[in-house]
A and B are shown apart, each in its own frame.
Chain A
Amino acid sequence: MKSTLFTVAAFTVGILTGLSQFLSFDLAGSHMVEYLVYLLIFLVGVGVGSNSTVWVFIKRVHFKIFLVPLTVIIGTLAGTILFSTVLPSLSVGDSVTVGLGFGYYSLSSVIITQLDGEELGIIALLANLMREIATLLFAPFFARIFGRLAPIAAGGATAMDTTLPVIVKSSGEEYTVVALFSGMVLTLLVPILIPFFMRVTGH
């Protein structure tokens, strides 16, 4: 929750600075931001690679653990495509691009801003931030109604860090490794799937 507030604060202070016309900056055209994104992706890799808990458990884990991130990917895309039909001003492709953030709002929004533009980048930021916040708030409810995988599914990529504590509380400690694994796979896929999907669909 603390890190979520921290990033919301960064975004808000940024909006105020922009409104004040005190500084000017072209995010979509910036080379510096491009390099920062690579550095962030590198650090995301370090975070995943240095998570020793999951590497220890992964050796004796059943193959069905792979079903969990797959469930999140297919479920998210199906739901996003379904719900995007009530948004005529947003194409299905754009909606899927946002969905592929899997809750990882910082990385997905910056990549999408660089590849598509500011508006879709902001939609990605807000949509994925709301996904994280909704998981933090409703994980126990999801677990009670939809079973113990549901908080992990809702958390998406954030299941490995920011939403892990509430997931463990709602799904039970025996689901810790499942949550870590699913979150790690999805985290690694965010910076791969978004540019890949946008290239394939010709953005």
Chain B
Amino acid sequence: MRIKMLYVLISLSSGTLIGFLIRKKKASGIFGKATSGIIFVLLFLLGMTVGMNESLFKNLPTVGLKALVLTLGGIFGSVSLSFVIYRLFFRDRNSNRGSPV
């Protein structure tokens, strides 16, 4: 199995630490551009994988429908629970102004 948990944790924690240390430097914009570049390459390759795989490409509508159902489930669940949490802990009955936290 590719993607090792240990390497994930090392990459993430070292990145967060370095980001925190350079947070006031102008150079941090370069990292944002690099992120977009890598995402572009990875999604391009993912698209290529779909294009090369005939059965996957033909099944794209079915796959899309499954994805839509999961999206609706995720949004429905999180938004509904947020409604409860908002009413219980965040809503200020006296005013609509001020900091919520």
**Chain B residues proximal to chain A, CB less than 8 Å:** 1-3, 5, 7-9, 11-24, 28, 31-32, 34-36, 38-53, 56-57, 59-60, 63-64, 66-83, 85-87, 89-91, 96-101
Please judge, given known A-B contacts A76-B77, A147-B91, A149-B82, whether A87 and B48 are in contact too, CB under 8 Å.
no
Chain B residues with CB under 8 Å of A15's CB are 47-48, 50-51, 57
A165 within 8 A of B: no
Chain A residues with CB under 8 Å of B20's CB are 49-50, 55
CB pair B53–A118 under 8 Å, yes or no, is: yes
Chain A residues with CB under 8 Å of B38's CB are 36, 39-40, 43
Could you list 27 examples of A-B contacts with CB < 8 Å? A11-B43, A15-B48, A25-B48, A38-B7, A43-B31, A45-B17, A55-B20, A71-B82, A71-B85, A72-B82, A75-B79, A78-B77, A79-B73, A79-B74, A84-B69, A102-B74, A109-B46, A118-B50, A118-B56, A119-B59, A123-B63, A125-B46, A134-B71, A153-B78, A154-B75, A156-B78, A174-B99
CB pair A25–B11 under 8 Å, yes or no, is: no
In the assembled complex, the CB of A104 is this many whole angstroms from the nearest CB of chain B, namely 10
CB pair B86–A150 under 8 Å, yes or no, is: yes
CB pair B75–A134 under 8 Å, yes or no, is: yes
Task: Give the complex CA separation of A23 and B32 in angstroms.
Answer: 28
Chain A residues with CB under 8 Å of B45's CB are 14, 25, 27, 30, 33
**Chain A residues proximal to chain B, CB less than 8 Å:** 3, 6-7, 10-21, 23-25, 27-31, 33-34, 36-52, 55, 61-62, 64-65, 67-68, 71-72, 74-84, 86-87, 89-90, 95, 98-99, 102, 106, 109-111, 113-115, 118-119, 121-128, 130-131, 134-135, 142, 146-150, 152-154, 156, 172, 174-175, 177-178, 188, 191-192, 195-196, 199
When C-beta atoms are compared, the residue in chain A nearest to B42 turns out to be: A110
Chain B residues with CB under 8 Å of A125's CB are 43, 46, 67
The contact of A11 among B47, B90, B96, B98, by CB within 8 Å, is B47
